[in-house]
Chains A and B, each alone.
Chain A
Amino acid sequence: MTYMVSKEEEFCSTGIKELDIQMGGGIPLGSTVLVVGSSGSGKTTLCMQFLINGAKRGERGVFFTITEPLFKLTKNFEGFEFYDKKLIESGMVNLIDLRIISERLGLDAEKYTVEDAGALLDILKDIAEELNVKRLVIDSITALCYRLQTKEMIRDFIFKLGTSLAAMKCTTFLTSEVPPRTFRYSQYEIEEFIADGIIFLGDVDRRGDLIRTLQLIKMRGTAHSRTKFAMSISSKRGIELTPLLKS
């Protein structure tokens, strides 16, 4: 593959060395990236590491959780060496339970109307602007889209969110939940068309053991690798990658 010449100011480094190399330096600033995987594939860890690594470089970030309460989320990360509590306390990484925000806005209906979706979009944009974040995570977009009634609403929501955040040069990770060992990128099969990038987390079976994998499917603006990587998640180093053996 041919790597693009990396200009640091145009790329958002994930801080995961091998992943950045595969994209020629990082993710183009302001991109919306779908992080796809089944339960336990490492989506949330990848997103948190992305935010923490950004905060260590002075880039403020926000993590909107929908799938698990904040106390559980923080407890799960306490064992990781990359997770620096001080970055949370100082506001460099902001953790927000989107369900609580939605409830406070009166957005607690099973299904959102177009107006509800608009109100939620506005609040997400307002928070991002107010905090002046350069990195944003929604975990998960699948849970959020569940409340949007049509594919058009989903498309519109993600498109508008991505456009607003791109204008702020804020790079966004949206996690997408898919069933295990399936080759699809989203629940509603619309998210991947709007996203600028797709990072697919899966696994391969080797004699009954599951080897975690990561593959870059799409990353607009980069001549990225499409090689499948073996992914390791450890408390000491977080996510690490090495090319997967082909045999």
Chain B
Amino acid sequence: MANTIIEGLRERISTAAKINQSVGIIVPGNNYSELLEAIFDQMFSTNDIWTYVTVTKPFDSIIKTFPNLSDHRNIRFIDCISRAAGISKLYPECIYIESPTMLEKISMEIINIFHDANVEENINKYLVIDSLSALMIYNDPETVTEFFYHLINKTRTENIHSISLVVEEEETNKYLNKIIFLNDKILRVRDSFI
């Protein structure tokens, strides 16, 4: 049953991200791990280029959850919290940002990854931001709003599809409400759906 639901969720994300340049996903906190599984299933199932920016979980924790991650050369990670949290185990396949406050550096690394990939036109480029809610914890809301405005514009110019997550408990935050609607499409994951 759980697999069927995650598969359904993966399908929704896949379709929405293909059609739209930018997708915002609002997820209830207690269904965050299912959503993550669906996103990773989607990343594993394609040859597209993916960049996953984590502000929520350290890369070390992600790779423990998905041990075969290293086999997928089309997926790159930017970890924004491990160094700030003093986590000493660092992996060469991941780019570590000193602190989640260094938003400009995050943008630079995202664009560099896609430029370095230098892919053919038929290969899609996807960016996952996990999550806008976590970025709000470490930064002033106005700064995150400005960052996201620029990021959405930059990714559009570079023909990169973006998927941004917002954890629902914090969605009442007026800034999150404002920026999530910058996306072309909003997916609201309901408790009942999961």
Contact = CB atoms under 8 A, between A and B. Distances in A.
A240 interface: yes
Contacts, number: 42
A217 B140 CA distance: 28
A245 B103 contact: yes
Contacts of A237: 112
A211 to B, nearest CB: 6
Contacts of A209: 98-99, 101-102
Interface in A79-135: none
Interface string B105-120: 1011000100000000
A189 B69 CA distance: 56
Contacts of B103: 245
Interface footprint category on A: 10 to 19
A164 interface: no
A163 interface: no
A232 interface: yes
Nearest to B143: A247
Interface footprint category on B: 10 to 19
A247 B99 contact: no
A211 B139 contact: no
Given A245-B103, A245-B147, A206 B108 contact: no
A235 interface: no
A208 B98 CA distance: 12
A209 B106 CA distance: 14
A243 B107 CA distance: 10
Interface of A: 206-209, 211, 230, 232, 237, 240, 242-247
Interface of B: 98-99, 101-105, 107-108, 112, 138-140, 142-143, 145-147, 150
10 contacts: A206-B101, A206-B143, A209-B99, A209-B101, A211-B104, A237-B112, A240-B112, A245-B103, A245-B104, A247-B140
Given A206-B139, A211-B102, 11 more contacts: A206-B101, A207-B101, A207-B139, A207-B140, A211-B104, A230-B104, A240-B108, A243-B104, A245-B146, A245-B150, A247-B143
